[in-house]
Each structure stands twice: as structure tokens, then as C-alpha cells.
């Protein structure tokens, strides 16, 4: 028997719940509930008139807990369940109570992962977009006058009307100077993503959301790093290729010379791919007199074309020179190419900058 006293009115509710256990299944018998109402002259007429509505709310809470919290709990156990008919809400159940929560803007409750996640990643049967036409919209007044759902690929995705406008059912965003609420209403921003992985501080690893276990750190295969944009591990330049242009890792000063195999064992199509590869690497560097300087050497039996470290060139010129390299098509004297790169660094390199030689070849040198 549990006795709960209402905080505002002198109302005492006495509730008794009988639980029967049969083998491994738990079922709830009908609840016997007695409400004891204080009807003395200490209760004002106004407070007495409010008591029926409070009792009705108590009955509703008891019925709600019976319908949602589908098993008996010990004193220390807590369960979470989806709220019937609403993807954005979930219920916390414990032995003597129940509490309703809402997910952050643009997120649904995931009963498998036991957490709120971006709506496009959650399969919720109550999602109205499951039965709606693409680009249909629905308001979400609980998140403010600018917030609404839009159907994208069969899932609801959180959107915000521009500043100075408000969402209107059936008409989307219309001008409304009175709508000044923030959207999203907090720092929680819905992200439409198809990826269940997140970057780790060490790019050789990633963090994966595992249902029922939470976030697990996993390693990438040897020689690869995690790319957030691809949602997978892929080959990078010694693990140092930057993820995006705005998050470059190659900003420190360095002198880099690419030694490119131009032998006849590389066909024309592969030599074009090789040149594009070098140009793409250059595009990911911060090129400048105080950043990275790049030189290029093409070799075969003899050393062919050269793009010197000095004078420094901008990124546009370097990429154009890389894409226009000539293909000599003779033997493979890798030693000659490396020696030419050493001489270039010695004569044109900066003494205070790290110096690197990157050899790109298809096989063994004819001159060890």
C-alpha cells in the first residue's frame, strides 16, 4: 500500500496494486484504488471544486502506467518505453511511478538503442511520414512557432522556418514578425544522417552506436583512417589526409617533393590517374611561402620533367603543372629520381622546414 499526498491540496490518495507472477511471465491484476478526500471545513469551496479534476488525473496516471509499463519492477529497477502514438516522447517507469519525457528537437526515441536519435535513423511506426507523400509537412508546436517536420525519404526530418516567419499547417513558412522564438529551441540540433558512426580523436579508430550496448570504440583496418563524410574507413596518406578543406591537418611548413614513375610499364590511363592523384594531394595542402612548398620530378631511365620547389607557386599553378606532366615511357631508375629529389631539396628547400620525398612507382627499380 502506497500513500501519496498531493502538494497543493489536503488530498490523500491510497493505492494498492497486486502483482501475480506465473513462471517467467509477469501480469498485473486489476488495481484496487481508494481515494480518501478531506471534506472538512478547512477546505475552501474553490479547493473542493478542484478535487474531482485532480482525482481524474490521478486515475488517468494509474491507467497510463498500467498500459505502458508492461512488467513489474523491483525497488531498484527502471525501464524505458516508447510513448504510444508519438515518436518524440518516451516513458520512464519504476515500481511506484511513471514520468513522461520528450526528445530534443528533430529526434525520435529509439527503443532498441534506448536513447533519442536523429529521426531519420529511427524506425518508428507512428511516424506520420510513413503514410504521407514526399515533402509533406507537419507542425511541431511543442518546439516553437518556427519548427516543423518534413517528409524526406519516408522519414520525418526536423526543419526550421527562417527568422521572421512561422510554420502554418498546409502552407509551410509564412511571414510572421511576431514569431521570434529560437529554432532549434536549444543547442540540440537535428542532423539528418544515415551514419551510425562518429569520429574518434585518433583517426585510426571510430565510435559506433551498438544497439543495447551504447557507443563502442572500434579500430579501422590497418592502413586506413575514418572519414566522417564517407561513414567508413578508407585509405589516407599515412593517416594524415584531412577530412575537409576547413579541417586540414597539413598546415605546418614543409617542403615535399613527389618522385613520379614515368616508365613504360605504366600505361597512358594509369599515368593520367597518377597525375590526378598528385593534383588531389596538392589540393589538400595549405600551399604558401609560410606553409607547404611542393616539387615534382618525373623519372624513367633518366630524370625527365621537374617542377621546382623554388620559386614557390600557388595551388592553381601546381595542380595545372601536375596535370600536364609528360610521360617519358622508358625504364625504371628509381634511384635516379630519388637522387634528383635530394638535390632539389638541398638547393631549393628551406632549412627551417621539414623535408619529405614521396615516391610513387608501380614496381621494382632497374637500378637498385
Q: How much is the pTM?
A: 0.39
Q: Which of 68, 102, 122 is at the close of a domain? A: 68
Q: How many structural domains comprise the chain?
A: 4
Residues 6+ apart with CB under 8 A from 76: none
In this structure, is residue 81 part of a structural domain? yes
User: Domain range for residue 87?
Assistant: 73-192
**DSSP letter string, 111-138:** TTTTEEEEGGG---TT-GGGGS-TT-EE
Same domain, 134 and 41: no
DSSP secondary structure code for residue 104 in this structure: P
Instruction: In whole angstroms, give the CA distance from residue 190 to residue 157.
Output: 8
User: What phi-psi label fits residue 89: left (phi over 0), alpha (psi between -120 and 50 degrees) or beta?
Assistant: beta
Give every CB contact of residue 156 below 8 A, 6+ residues apart in sequence: 87, 108, 119, 120, 127, 128, 129, 138, 149, 150
Nearest Cα to 298, choosing from 350, 359, 354?
359
Q: Which of 192, 223, 258 marks a domain boundary?
A: 192
| Same domain as 78, residue 163 | yes
DSSP assignment of 283-326, as one string?
A: HTS-BSTTSEEEEEEEESSSEEEEE-SSS---HHHHHHHHHT--
Same domain, 98 and 188: yes
Whether 209 and 121 map to the same domain: the answer is no
| CATH for 262 | 3.40.50.410
- 144 and 50 in a single domain? The answer is no
Query: What length is written for the chain?
Result: 368
**Same-domain pairing of 281 and 188:** no
Q: What is the pLDDT along the chain (368 residues), one digit of tens a residue?
A: 344 434 333 333 333 332 222 223 333 444 455 555 666 666 666 666 666 665 565 555 555 555 667 656 555 667 788 888 889 888 887 766 778 888 888 888 887 777 788 888 888 888 988 888 888 898 888 888 888 998 888 888 888 888 888 899 877 888 888 888 888 776 444 434 456 688 888 888 888 866 555 678 888 877 778 888 777 787 654 444 444 444 444 567 889 999 999 998 888 888 988 898 898 888 888 888 888 999 999 998 888 888 989 888 888 888 888 888 889 888 889 999 999 999 999 999 998 889 999 999 887 777 76
Check whether residue 41 and residue 87 sit in a common domain: no
Grid cell, residue 162, equals 527562417
Query: Could you tell me the three cell numbers for 72?
Result: 513489474
Amino acid at each position: 500500500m502506497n500513500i501519496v499526498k498531493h502538494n497543493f491540496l489536503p488530498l490523500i490518495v491510497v493505492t494498492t496494486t497486486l502483482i501475480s507472477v506465473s513462471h517467467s511471465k509477469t501480469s498485473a491484476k486489476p488495481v484496487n484504488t481508494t481515494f480518501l478526500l478531506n471534506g472538512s471545513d478547512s477546505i475552501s469551496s474553490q479547493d473542493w471544486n478542484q478535487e474531482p479534476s485532480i482525482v481524474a488525473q490521478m486515475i488517468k496516471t494509474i491507467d497510463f502506467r498500467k498500459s505502458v509499463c508492461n512488467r513489474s519492477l523491483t525497488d531498484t529497477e527502471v525501464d524505458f518505453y516508447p510513448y504510444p502514438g508519438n515518436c518524440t516522447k518516451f516513458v520512464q517507469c519504476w515500481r511506484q511511478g511513471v514520468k513522461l519525457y520528450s526528445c530534443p528537437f528533430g529526434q525520435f526515441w529509439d527503443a532498441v538503442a534506448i536513447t533519442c536519435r536523429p529521426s531519420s535513423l529511427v524506425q518508428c511506426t507512428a511516424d506520420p511520414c510513413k503514410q504521407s507523400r514526399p515533402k509533406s509537412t507537419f507542425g511541431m508546436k511543442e518546439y516553437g512557432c518556427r519548427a516543423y517536420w518534413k517528409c524526406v525519404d519516408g522519414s520525418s526530418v526536423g526543419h526550421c522556418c527562417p527568422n521572421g516567419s512561422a510554420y502554418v499547417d498546409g502552407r509551410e513558412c509564412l511571414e510572421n514578425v511576431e514569431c521570434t522564438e529560437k529554432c532549434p529551441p536549444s543547442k540540440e540540433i537535428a542532423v539528418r544522417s544515415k551514419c551510425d558512426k562518429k569520429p574518434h580523436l585518433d583517426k585510426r579508430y571510430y565510435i559506433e552506436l551498438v544497439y543495447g550496448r551504447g557507443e563502442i570504440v572500434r579500430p579501422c583496418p590497418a592502413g586506413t583512417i575514418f572519414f566522417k563524410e564517407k561513414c567508413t574507413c578508407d585509405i589516407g596518406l599515412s593517416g594524415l589526409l584531412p577530412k575537409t578543406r576547413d579541417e586540414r591537418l597539413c598546415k605546418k611548413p614543409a617542403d615535399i617533393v613527389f618522385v613520379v614513375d614515368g616508365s613504360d610499364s605504366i600505361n597512358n590511363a594509369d599515368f593520367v590517374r597518377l597525375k590526378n592523384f598528385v593534383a588531389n594531394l596538392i589540393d589538400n595542402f595549405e600551399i604558401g611561402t609560410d606553409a607547404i612548398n611542393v616539387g615534382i620530378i618525373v623519372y624513367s631511365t633518366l630524370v625527365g620533367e621537374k617542377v621546382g620547389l623554388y620559386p614557390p607557386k600557388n595551388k592553381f599553378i601546381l595542380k595545372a603543372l601536375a596535370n600536364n606532366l609528360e610521360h617519358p615511357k622508358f625504364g625504371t631508375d628509381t634511384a635516379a629520381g630519388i637522387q634528383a629529389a635530394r638535390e632539389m631539396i638541398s638547393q631549393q628547400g628551406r632549412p627551417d622546414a621539414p623535408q619529405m620525398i614521396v615516391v610513387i612507382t608501380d614496381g621494382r627499380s632497374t637500378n637498385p
